[in-house]
Amino acid sequence: MTQLVLLRHGESTWNQENRFTGWTDVDLTPKGQEEARQAGRLLHQGGYTFDMAYTSVLKRAIKTLDLCLDEMDQLWIPVVKSWKLNERHYGALQGLNKAETAHQYGEEQVHIWRRSYDIPPPALEPGDARFPGKDPRYANIAAALLPRYESLKDTVKRVVPYWETEIAPMVRAGKKIIIAAHGNSLRALVKFLDHIPDADIADLNIPTGIPLVYEMGEDLRPLRKYYLGDAAHIASATAAVAAQGKVK
Ligand SMILES: O=C(O)[C@@H](CO)OP(=O)(O)O
């Protein structure tokens, strides 16, 4: 049996402000930092240890991993950062308040933008200063590979090959891995691991800062998965993510 832990970053400033975030590199709030530390405490109390960690190139995931590993006294493990684990690129929605967008375009449209499998958000205009090609952290990546928007399906197309070529071989080799990433990059991975049909993925919401443990067979087929922590808190945090697209 192998084990894998997925961890969505703690609350970010734009989670707190209820803004579409995507590739915008916003920081954790104090609550988000505490969620990350609490994740580390739960993992430590549960006797978990890791050989390696993977995260994105966005500071809310990097800092979450750091705070979590600090609580576990495991800051020394190798950490690989990849843009392939970044959040879904939310295109021209990035920065908009989700409830205001629901007010303007309707809750149904916002739900489609947030949770449909293959309907993308509006693209960034050519020349938009937010295009990742203008950001030095993506300087070594061909501009054609960098998104101006992504549907979840597009996110699956970058996350799953990264899982298959970089992370899965480590898990197969018996390495204990934690992946600290984002709501939708983790939804993409969970969809793949659990074989969730396209039509059903809309119902999956992942709360911030709560470790999700997978127990897997040798073939990396999930046998069991569970969040660590208080069940009522996990349920309300998950429902709160789903409700972010409602008119307030
Ligand atoms: O804004 C985002 O980038 C994501 C995660 O915070 O939001 P949503 O849950 O609406 O897909």
Domain boundaries, the chain: 2-243
- What value does the mean pLDDT take over residues 83-100? 98
Q: Which of 35, 87, 150, 182 is flagged as catalytic?
A: 87
Enclosing H/E stretch for 65: helix 59-71
> Which of 26, 87, 206 has most ligand 1 atoms within 8 Å of CB, for mutation?
87
Q: What is the ipTM of this complex?
A: 0.97
Q: What is the pLDDT of residues 17-28, one digit of tens each?
A: 999 999 999 999
- What value does the mean pLDDT take over residues 28-50? 98
Cα distance between the two ends of the chain:
45
Cβ-contact 98, 245 below 8 angstroms = yes
Residues making up the binding site for substrate: 8-15, 21-22, 60, 87-90, 98, 114-115, 183-184
Closest atom of ligand 1 relative to the 87 alpha carbon: 3
Confirm whether 34 is a catalytic residue. no
Please name the residue whose Cα sits nearest to atom 5 of ligand 1: 183
How far apart CA 28 and CA 55 sit, in angstroms, is 15
How far apart CA 197 and CA 128 sit, in angstroms, is 34
For tokens 């960098």, the residue is 146
> By three-state DSSP, how is residue 48 classified?
coil
Confirm whether 9 is a catalytic residue. yes
Q: Output the average pLDDT for the chain.
A: 97
Tell me, in angstroms, the distance from the centre of ligand 1 to residue 168's CA.
26
Tell me, in angstroms, the distance from the centre of ligand 1 to residue 201's CA.
14
The residues facing 68 across adjacent strands are none
Say yes or no to pLDDT of 164 above 90.
yes
Say yes or no to pLDDT of 123 above 90.
yes
Q: Which residues line ligand 1 (CB under 6 A)?
A: 15, 20-22, 87, 90, 114, 183-184, 241, 244
CATH number of 2-243: 3.40.50.1240
pLDDT of amino acid 1: 85
Confidence band, pLDDT 50/70/90 cuts, at residue 218: confident
Confidence band, pLDDT 50/70/90 cuts, at residue 126: confident
